[in-house]
Structure 1
Amino acid sequence: MSGSGFSVYVGNAPYQTTEQEMGDFFATAGEVTNVRIVLDRETGRPRGFAFVEFAEEAGANRAVEQFNGTDFNGRSLRVNLATR
């Protein structure tokens, strides 16, 4: 990760969601520069959470305000500012 962006933690993400779908969904809050769905090391399957990085801090803040508790593909997302 570049470290120049502003990230949000996305919990309770649907397992079948792609990074592209998640990026498109969060793009309404601001310019998305990176999406990383965390995979299990042993199985290679998604672990149900991801990090979405925005070009600007305002986008990350809007994402938390707009999407925390929002339904996404049948799951209620938990969205918080990511801590480093």
Structure 2
Amino acid sequence: MNIFVGSLPFNVEEADLREYFEEYGEVSSVKIITDKFTGRSKGFGFVEMPSDEFAQKAIDELNGAKIDGRAIVVNKSEPKPEGERKSFNRNGGNNRGGFNRERDNSRSRY
């Protein structure tokens, strides 16, 4: 089962997160998401556990647990359906083309 872990303190590393979850069973993988420019943690990640039973127990017991004084959020990760990601628009955000819009000359300011 793939598990989402949010509200992580920025100093938590993948090895630390693996240790927390290994108390509940085998952990296949751990990935803390980082900013691609700075390399700094974004404060969330994913843990993969092969046993759904152990994964659910980890979710139940770790959701709301405190790490370095912060209550973490732990729940089953659901994949985003295709097409739900927002596209990046380089034209200023409104898909109207931005700079080359034709001007309405029927109304003049002068």
Structure number, greater radius of gyration? 2
Among residues 41, 48, 51, which one is paired with 2:43 in the alignment? Answer: 48
Alignment partner of 1:37 is 2:32: yes
Task: Count matched residues.
Answer: 79
% identical aligned pairs: 34
Moved beyond 6 Å, runs of 4+: none
Aligned-pair distance for 1:45? 0.6
Alignment partner of 1:25 is 2:25: no
Aligned-pair distance for 1:34? 0.5
Please, what is the CA RMSD of the aligned residues? 0.9
TM-score by length of 2: 0.68
* Conserved 8 A contact 1:29-1:66: no
Which structure has more relative contact order (CA 8 Å, sep 6+)? It is 1
